[in-house]
Amino acid sequence: IERERERERRRERERERRRDERERERESEERRLSVELSRARLSLALARLCISPLSLSLSLSPLSALSSDRGDAGCSKLTVK
């Protein structure tokens, strides 16, 4: 009877260990997805900032916008890592 109880306690500890492990994996995945979402939002915000002045300057004076060096071209180099 004592051995049976010990076996049952070991099984219960193993179940708890697996449950804790799954919970840690789930939390880790949630953090990873949260970071990925933040990066995507930041990339989108940067893209919007770059597109707005560029499209505005193109509509106002296409030739000067294409030949200007106001930093609009630098937007293509913006990446979020």
> pLDDT in tens for each of the 81 residues of the chain?
899 999 999 999 999 999 999 999 999 999 999 999 999 998 888 877 777 665 555 555 444 444 444 444 455 555 555
In the chain, alpha helices (H): 2-60, 62-67
Supply φ then ψ for residue 79, to 5 degrees.
-135, 150
Longest dimension (CA), the chain: 90
Looking at the structure of the chain, the number of domains it has is 1
Give the pTM.
0.52
Count the alpha carbons within 13 Å of 47 in the hemisphere toward its beta carbon.
8
Q: State how far the alpha carbon of 24 is from the alpha carbons of 18, 20, 36, 59, 71, in Å.
A: 10, 6, 18, 52, 44
Dig out the tokens for 50 from the structure: 């770059």
The parent domain of residue 52 ranges over 2-77
